[in-house]
Amino acid sequence: MSRMSFLDVQYSLSKRKFFRIPSRMLSIDRQNFCIVPVYQQTVEEMRQVFNEYDINKDSKISKEEYKAILTALGKVDLLTEDVQKIFEVADLDGDRFIDFKEFVEVQ
């Protein structure tokens, strides 16, 4: 049984058609001769993903909203304990919700 992390779900959402797909994901750093990532999510894109999670539009994500998105993505095998662990990491102020600031912090 595969387990999906908070970031895995965000990545899955970012692949949806309403997000801008960059034409170049990697670039060669000619000075250091290595491949470095060029694309980084903007605040607007993170806000779009956050708004997808925030079903009732109260500017915070509850565990129920998080589970609903996972179900919509077909990730029904993620257990309640897994969601609890994700919230323990992401919920920095301990109010049992993830607000936008906390959402951005875990990126």
The CATH number linked to 68 is 1.10.238.10
Q: Confirm whether 29 is domain-assigned.
A: yes
Give the pLDDT score at 106.
Answer: 86
* Structural domain count of the chain: 1
Residue 1 resides in a domain: no
Gyration radius (Cα) of the chain, Å: 16
Q: Provide the β-strand partners of residue 29.
A: 34
Residue-level pLDDT at 23: 46
Q: Please check whether residue 86 lies inside any domain of the structure.
A: yes
* 61: phi then psi, degrees, rounded to nearest 5: -105, 125
Q: Is residue 94 part of a domain?
A: yes
Check residue 9 and give its pLDDT.
72
The pLDDT of residue 1 is: 45
Q: What is the pTM of this model?
A: 0.61
Classify residue 69: in a domain, yes or no: yes
Is the C-alpha dihedral spanning 29, 32, 33, 39 positive or negative? negative
Residue 25 domain flag: yes
* Region label for 57, one of left (φ > 0), alpha (ψ between -120 and 50) or beta (otherwise): left
Domain presence at residue 68: yes
Which residues form the domain of 33? 6-105
Q: What is the mean pLDDT of each run of 10 residues along the chain (107 residues)?
A: 66 57 49 60 91 94 92 82 90 94 89
- Residue 51 sits at the vertex; the CA angle it makes with 48 and 52, to the nearest 5 degrees, is 90
